[in-house]
Amino acid sequence: MRVTIFGSGYVGLVQAAVFAEAGHQVCCVDIDQHRVDKLNQGNIPIFEPGLEDLVVRNIDQQRLMFTTDSTQGVEFADILFIAVGTPSNPDGSADLSAVRAVATTIGQQMASDKIVVNKSTVPVGTADEVAAIIAGELERRADEHLQIDVASNPEFLKEGAAVSDCRSPDRIIIGATVASTLATLRELYAPFCRQRDKIITMDRRSAELTKYAANCMLATKISFINEMAKMAEKMGADIEQVRRGIGSDPRIGYHFIYPGLGFGGSCFPKDIDAMLSMANTFQVDNYLLEAVKTTNAQQKKSLVNKVVARYGNDLRGKTFAIWGLAFKPNTDDIREAPSRVTINALVSMGARVQGFDPKAGKATAQVYRNVEQVLICNSKEEAIEGCDALLICTEWEAFRAPDFSHLKQSLGEPVIFDGRNLYEREQLQRYGFEYYCIGRSAIV
């Protein structure tokens, strides 16, 4: 089948590559000429395991192309995906300007019947708005005879596992009620349903709400376990044992109940803000999500609070190493990352910071390019040299089994603040470290 995807960002690029790998012909439209030129050369602007190979292979096999020509994109296919960004406005609501711009373009340029599929994360009712925008453009052109149907098809990709999620999804939500649209989208997604039918159909508004509800539920689990971790520290309990105890209940499960520094990235914080904005619009109280948001903001300060408790709030003359800058492993995304809250707080109290991340170093160095107290290093060993203590903000595999003897020799003092509970307390005690973690009593 022939598919056009508007937007070559995280969602659009992954979906385009996976559709092409399945055998579909895919045209990806983006307004950034530099980005399009790079993509056509096989240069990927983001780090996502397995994505570069898919893009390069499908460009070579002429199943995937990138262009800035929206007219070409509209003409290329009868199935048009909208996968553009919907960042937060200052009031927390979703910025739909890019979605509206694509809808306007489609309405102005379509010359045959189209199915428009909204892949972007959007507030409830956006599919209705997109349909109205396109219909309005057709009316102005006196082309009301052209048929358009708008479907909602939210994405459920995890950064760091997006390619595998897209190639083998848990479910495929399609919000549409027109039989011909459902039949076409079932055919499009058939390669991903060979083992079982993963398609769940519903109305458009329910599909739009499903996306937000899923992310808000996962964020709630994270904030819940972090609240329990704070209680465990005060009560002398071990949150890791508590986690295993409650996770063994199949009604709860182990997913998303790992205590740490809270959630970041481009999805959970933005989607909670958007959900709260929608609740306000529809005059619905949502005390739970307000609490989730507050808990997460406080949790990102956990390591800084422990540092202050240990050293005081005047950190002049101190240098701290930070391992892990991305908001999670297997990505270079530092949006809403706990590391940034930690770095900003340490610098504000006079400290210097030496950071390292296997993939997010470049992005972090760009953010702090004008902050002389922040140095982004090329290795975890370089980052700890001459530092007073080590802080761990991201649970990369490369940090799980360090040479503790070398670590102890390199640090000015044998002190670790572990925001991801990577290590066993008994192990650190044997090596003679002071060890501060989340939801467990410290070793001092």
Catalytic residue IDs: 267
> 28 burial class (0-12, 13-18, 19+ CB within 10 angstroms)?
buried
Distance CA 96, CA 133 (A): 12
**Token match 């933005």: residue?**
270
CB 236 within 8 A of CB 441: yes
Of 335, 338, 381, 374, whose CA–CA distance to 358 is shortest? 381
Q: What letter does residue 443 receive in the DSSP assignment?
A: B
Distance CA 213, CA 159 (A): 18
- Give me the sign of the Cα torsion angle 191, 7, 135, 206: positive
Instruction: Tally Cβ neighbours within 10 Å of residue 322.
Output: 29
Any idea how long the chain is? 444
Distance CA 204, CA 160 (A): 28
Distance CA 153, CA 19 (A): 14
Amino acid of residue 403: D
Across the strands, what pairs with 389? 320
CB 388 within 8 A of CB 413: yes
- Give me the sign of the Cα torsion angle 287, 293, 296, 297: negative
